[in-house]
Structure 1
Amino acid sequence: MIGETQTRMATEAAEAPDRIALQAASLAEPLADLAAKWSASPPRAIVTCARGSSDHAALYGKYALEIATGLPVASLGPSVVSVHETPLRLDGMLYITVSQSGQSPDLLRCAEAARAGGALVVAIVNDSASPLAGAADIVLDMQAGPEHAVAATKSFLCTLTTIARLIAAITDSPATDAAVDRLPEQLRSGSKDPWPSEILDRYVDAGRAFVIGRGPGLGVAAELALKAKEVAGLHAEAFSAAEVQHGPKAAIGPDSPVILLGTEDAAKASVEEAARTVGALGAPTFGSLVAVPGIVDLPTVRTGHPLTQPIVQAGAFYGFIEKLSRRRGLDPDNPPSLRKVTKTL
């Protein structure tokens, strides 16, 4: 077990507000270019391609983009190109590839195939000199800065805010831009009001766990479940507030704690219904912005915007999961068998 000194993971997560504050200026020009291309030739559909934490950010983007534009957003499996070598037919579509490192060969090959197949390719990366950036028509540098801990924190949050700003640009939404502008201070405020120790006590000996979200929050739920696996060695699964009502709830009980990510939009009622369901099954139940009697409240700063609320929830979770990792005798900076940059086909 590592000591009580500040871990790289905690340090980097705390840097996210400052990094997000840099984005408005750096993204202004490429987002204006994208908005102009979108206006001149609106896409027929949108395709995303990513892996790991970046794919969870893309899932956040899927729901956010579909809600904002009414266009379908599909996730392309990288192996379709990198293994099966299938030519892509994406004429008139927007293709968004997401990668912190921009180095994975499969994502590079897919971006090249997407461009050859007629798509406008946008790359969201943390290295504008990366191979993936070189394959794109438009590069959005998330400005997360160097990230050394294996588990992505600030780069994930910066990816989400880049996607939110992308949506603001193509939909001409000053309100969304303003909401992202407020995020740095909201994230700082959230870090001053950590989740209660009761949640640590419930999770320290848990063998499995669940995270429930909906809409853009589902992508964040998926990322939080991944962080539980990576950092705390805890098998966690993410489900939508609707999907958990089907087969998954059969696996929920007193030995499987649940975190629910509430919303302040039309999905609010369904998340609260899911909270009542898992609570009735005897699961230790914790909720962020979930007003249901009997569940433990997780302090959460309200952002006033559905695209930024899940980002604040993710930021609060990082503080919890870093502490849980140490309570379970692990090193959150060096999860077993993992490395920072993963190159796959």
Structure 2
Amino acid sequence: MPEAADEANARPGAHMSAEIAAQPQMFADLLAAHAAVAEVAARITERRPRFVLLAARGSSDHAALYAKYLTEVLLELPAGLVSASSTTLYGARPDLREVLVITVSQSGGSPDLVEVTRTARECGATTVAVTNTPHSQLNTVAELSVDVRAGAEQAVAATKTYSATLLSLYLLVDAVRGGSGAAAASVPDLASSTLESTRTGVEDAVARYRFADEIVTTGRGYSLATASEAALKLAETSYVSARSYSGADLLHGPVAAVDADTAVLAMISSGHGGGAMREVLEAVHARDADLCAIGSAARTVGASHRIEIPECAEELAPVLEVLPVQRLALGLALAKGEDPDHPRGLRKETRTR
């Protein structure tokens, strides 16, 4: 019934809901295309880069932050995030020989990222585009490219393109170190389990936080990317004042502003990053904040609310952690009478220079 399908797609949040649900199969499709990522990794390995720079904006910037941790921990190479304006506004042309520049952009059309990538290649860098748009301008200027294979995304808020980018970056970095991607083989099944097992916890969290005016998100290590993405998703879909902090930074001052009127979403999965969050959450709990712990180690800390996810390798946890976060953003937007498919004043692609 075409009319029924059109009516279903017209419901607020219909696209975002469908795209969240599509992620397990998308992960499986991405893993099946591992050979293409391995080819790019082989080219990178031949160049033996000594430093990695990552360029991105918006949700892709959080994926780049995740890749920074992957690079520093798994490859033991120094990594940094590009300041695009040093090129686009100030015209800087640094010596980038022996540097790998990875530009992450779902659309591949942001003028500043295209300019940064073109300049980096001219300055001697090995350039890689990681994008959901394989025929984009970014792919034209980059030497190498990785297709995140998420398919068309209708909702303005990125969901499946974000998680597909995370998994693509993991597979790329893992292949550069000589891995086969085997540790990620269970991700599709774990994602299905996460979406199903967290449904009630997310619904309870929506009811709990629908009237929250201020939310702080926090995490450490790999999960800092999830905390950053959580703040963005909540701000752009529910118009909540959401701020993200590294757990370490939260203790260095901002925790003083946390009180009983503050909702705190803490990412805490098994591993070194989650372990380092315990002191942080003790401080937050002592200030009577309403704490929601999200992750495979959520059950191990004192919290007002918990959303537990299945356990996996720590470096893959952000791929799963973000799923209930996306559902929470969707649910809060709908509870507030908003349409997260079409946030006020936002477009799918933001063009900056």
Same fold (TM over 0.5): yes
SS in 1 for 2:191: helix
Deviation at 1:264, TM superposition (A): 1.6
Q: Does structure 2 conserve the Cα–Cα contact (< 8 Å) formed by 1:211 and 1:260?
A: yes
Q: What is the aligned partner in structure 2 of residue 18 from structure 1? A: 25
Q: What is the aligned partner in structure 2 of residue 309 from structure 1? A: 317
- Equivalent in 36, 41, 52 of residue 46 of structure 1: 52
Give, in whole Å, the separation in 2 of the partners of 1:202 and 1:236. Answer: 16
- Equivalent in 250, 254, 266 of residue 248 of structure 1: 254
SS in 2 for 1:192: helix
Q: Does structure 1 conserve the Cα–Cα contact (< 8 Å) formed by 2:41 and 2:173?
A: no
Please say if 1:82 is aligned against 2:88: yes
Q: Does structure 2 conserve the Cα–Cα contact (< 8 Å) formed by 1:202 and 1:284?
A: no
Give, in whole Å, the separation in 1 of the partners of 2:322 and 2:210. Answer: 19
Q: Runs of 4+ in structure 1 displaced over 6 angstroms?
A: 2-5
| Aligned amino acid, residue 351 of structure 2 | K
- Equivalent in 177, 187, 201 of residue 191 of structure 2: 187
Please say if 1:159 is aligned against 2:165: yes
SS in 1 for 2:343: coil
**Cα RMSD (Å):** 1.7
- Equivalent in 123, 127, 130 of residue 121 of structure 1: 127
Deviation at 1:36, TM superposition (A): 4.4
Give, in whole Å, the separation in 1 of the partners of 2:38 and 2:303. Answer: 45
Q: After the TM superposition, which residues 188-267 of structure 1 pair with which residues of structure 2 at under 5 Å, given as runs? A: 188-193=192-197, 194=199, 195-267=201-273
Give, in whole Å, the separation in 2 of the partners of 1:33 and 1:7. Answer: 36
SS in 2 for 1:22: helix
> Alpha carbons of 1:294 and 1:151: their partners in 2 closer, same or farther (altered >3 Å)?
closer
Q: What is the aligned partner in structure 2 of residue 34 from structure 1? A: 41
Q: Does structure 1 conserve the Cα–Cα contact (< 8 Å) formed by 2:44 and 2:176?
A: no
SS in 2 for 1:210: strand
Q: Does structure 2 conserve the Cα–Cα contact (< 8 Å) formed by 1:261 and 1:310?
A: no
Q: Does structure 2 conserve the Cα–Cα contact (< 8 Å) formed by 1:287 and 1:296?
A: yes
> Alpha carbons of 1:4 and 1:129: their partners in 2 closer, same or farther (altered >3 Å)?
closer
User: Which range is displaced more, 197-206 or 178-187?
Assistant: 197-206
Give, in whole Å, the separation in 1 of the partners of 2:47 and 2:204. Answer: 53
Q: After the TM superposition, which residues 263-282 of structure 1 pair with which residues of structure 2 at under 5 Å, given as runs? A: 263-282=269-288
Please say if 1:344 is aligned against 2:352: yes
| Aligned amino acid, residue 245 of structure 2 | F
> Alpha carbons of 1:335 and 1:33: their partners in 2 closer, same or farther (altered >3 Å)?
closer
Q: What is the aligned partner in structure 2 of residue 328 from structure 1? A: 336
| Aligned amino acid, residue 24 of structure 1 | L
So what's the TM-score if we normalise by structure 2?
A: 0.92
Q: What is the aligned partner in structure 1 of residue 16 from structure 2? A: 9
SS in 2 for 1:311: helix
Please say if 1:298 is aligned against 2:307: yes
Give, in whole Å, the separation in 2 of the partners of 1:197 and 1:216. Answer: 26
Give, in whole Å, the separation in 1 of the partners of 2:350 and 2:251. Answer: 34
> Alpha carbons of 1:192 and 1:42: their partners in 2 closer, same or farther (altered >3 Å)?
same
Give, in whole Å, the separation in 1 of the partners of 2:79 and 2:270. Answer: 23
Give, in whole Å, the separation in 1 of the partners of 2:350 and 2:43. Answer: 34
Q: What is the aligned partner in structure 1 of residue 140 from structure 2? A: 134
Segments of 5+ residues of structure 2 without an aligned counterpart are: 1-8
| Aligned amino acid, residue 341 of structure 1 | E
Q: Does structure 1 conserve the Cα–Cα contact (< 8 Å) formed by 2:12 and 2:339?
A: no
Deviation at 1:23, TM superposition (A): 1.6
> Alpha carbons of 1:48 and 1:17: their partners in 2 closer, same or farther (altered >3 Å)?
same
Deviation at 1:211, TM superposition (A): 1.0
> Alpha carbons of 1:6 and 1:47: their partners in 2 closer, same or farther (altered >3 Å)?
closer
SS in 2 for 1:58: helix
Q: Does structure 2 conserve the Cα–Cα contact (< 8 Å) formed by 1:27 and 1:140?
A: no
Q: After the TM superposition, which residues 73-112 of structure 1 pair with which residues of structure 2 at under 5 Å, given as runs? A: 73-112=79-118
Percentage identity across aligned positions?
32
Figure out how many residues of one structure are paired with residues of the other and give that number: 340
Deviation at 1:27, TM superposition (A): 4.1
